[in-house]
Amino acid sequence: MISKTVTLQEITAENVRQVCDLSVNTKQKNYVAENAIAIAEACYSKNDWMRAVYANDTPVGLMVVKAQPEKAEYLLWRFMIDAQYQQSNYGRRAIELCIDYVRTRPNTVEFLTSVVPGDHCPQGFYESLGFCLTGQWHKGEAMMKIML
């Protein structure tokens, strides 16, 4: 298998339809919003950092980080890898790149995310990257963090 380079690229008029067409598998649909909704919501927030996840020249996923720079808080708010590209380490590499980005933000000491509990919840995936449960909940989602 040929190794592919994972990058985080801006969403533009040229790639937005491709990114919107990406989707998780049926078992995961209750855990993540559709990409079109995530992109639309992020477009109305001046502090959101939104990127398409690419493997070489192919869009394979989406991530949105909610940023509150005045509090030095950063939350991985939306993250998905298309069903056909899962189990290829693209998600792991994308999160590592995202963590690298968050580390460059002023005064940031932790990076947050949340998971909806259930059989196909990504909690184990996030734990394998160093995130841990905080014991806090927000709107039915378990909060997780990684210290930077």
**Is residue 127 predicted with pLDDT exceeding 60?**
yes
Give the pLDDT score at 128. Answer: 96
Q: What is the mean pLDDT of residues 92-97?
A: 97
Does residue 1 sit within a domain?
Answer: no
Give the pLDDT score at 70. Answer: 80
- CATH number for the domain spanning 91: value is 3.40.630.30
The tally of domains found in the chain comes to 1
Report how far apart, in Å, the C-alpha atoms of 99 and of each of 65, 77, 115 are.
Answer: 10, 13, 17
Give the pLDDT score at 71. Answer: 81
Q: DSSP states of 49-104 as a string?
A: EEEEEEETTEEEEEEEEEEEGGGTEEEEEEEEE-GGGTTSSHHHHHHHHHHHHHHT
Q: What is the mean pLDDT of residues 70-93?
A: 93
Does residue 43 sit within a domain?
Answer: yes
**Is residue 19 predicted with pLDDT exceeding 60?**
yes
Give the structural domain span for 75.
6-147
- Number of neighbours of residue 81 by Cβ within 10 angstroms: 26
Mean per-residue pLDDT of the chain = 93
Does residue 130 sit within a domain?
Answer: yes
